Amino acid sequence: MPLAHFDGALAVVTGAGGGFGRAITLALAERGATVIAADIDLPAAERTVTLAKTIGPGGAPYEVDVADRAAMEAFAAEVKETHRVPDIVVNNAGIAVVGPFMDTGLDDWERIVGVNLWGVVHGSRLFGRQMVDRVTALPNKPDKPNLGGHIVNIASAAAFAPWRSMPAYCTTKSAVLMLSQSLRAELAGHRIGVTAVCPGFADTGIARNATIVGGGPAERARLHERGQKAIRLRNYPPEKVAERVVDAIIKNRAVVPVNFEGHLLHTLSRVSPGALRLLARIPAPR
């Protein structure tokens, strides 16, 4: 069953200091949710909560590295003890590593898998367990069934398509998509929804903060600037992605492609995967 009412809900959002995370946090706050804004950058999370307090009931900022198992365990325990079991969890924190597989070092792999995949695993496992325990502990009434909650995992349109220039990013995001669909099947009996949201290019800080591997310093700087310019020209605001997240929670959707390239790659992945494999051979512009 979908969690259709946000008024009075408690929502946890990771990577809430900017981009999708901030937009999603504010969209939930505007609809009446109390928000827990988590980010590795505490001042950024604090700014998000300050904004949330101007449009909704407010919330609390937390500093946490989603890749750190112990830190996430402590964070989840503190949220439950200080606030309560959340109704909505959005595992949004993410980073990008751009460049060929052969130039991507193990440190880069560990970092992107830690944030993009382990961060989602930690958030889903810890808060999902709290939600399941809450449903199990409360009596269920036929006329008013317990709503266990909703978990949203921010994947990417890159989850649908391989690309030679972003193997690490595509790998982690496709893993998030499969994890979300598997978890959705497992938690359905507890009335806990799980959604994978898969945006295409959008105006966030992920391109600005991306790690680029391979080539010399001048070439990496040029690719960095081109990536940011492409995002600016695309001009797709994170607020539109936030609206799709809200809609996905209300309607309990399983997979939500966002914007033109998201829908295009999702469709091609189903009707013409061979075409995507050919497109994957195209190198990044230099």
Tell me if residue 169 is catalytic.
yes
Residue 21 tokens read as 């995370």
Nearest Cα neighbor of 202 from 282, 96, 45 is: 96
Rounded CA separation 179/147 (Å):
22
Q: Identify whether the C-beta of residue 170 lies closer than 8 Å to the C-beta of residue 158.
A: yes
Q: What is the DSSP letter of 56?
A: S
Annotated active-site residue in 169, 200, 211, 262: 169
Q: Within 13 Å and on the Cβ side, how many CA atoms surround 97?
A: 26
Pairing of strands 149-154, 255-258: unpaired
Q: What is the DSSP letter of 201?
A: S
Q: Which residue has the tokens 């829908």?
A: 263
Pairing of strands 192-199, 97-98: unpaired
Q: Which residues are catalytic?
A: 169
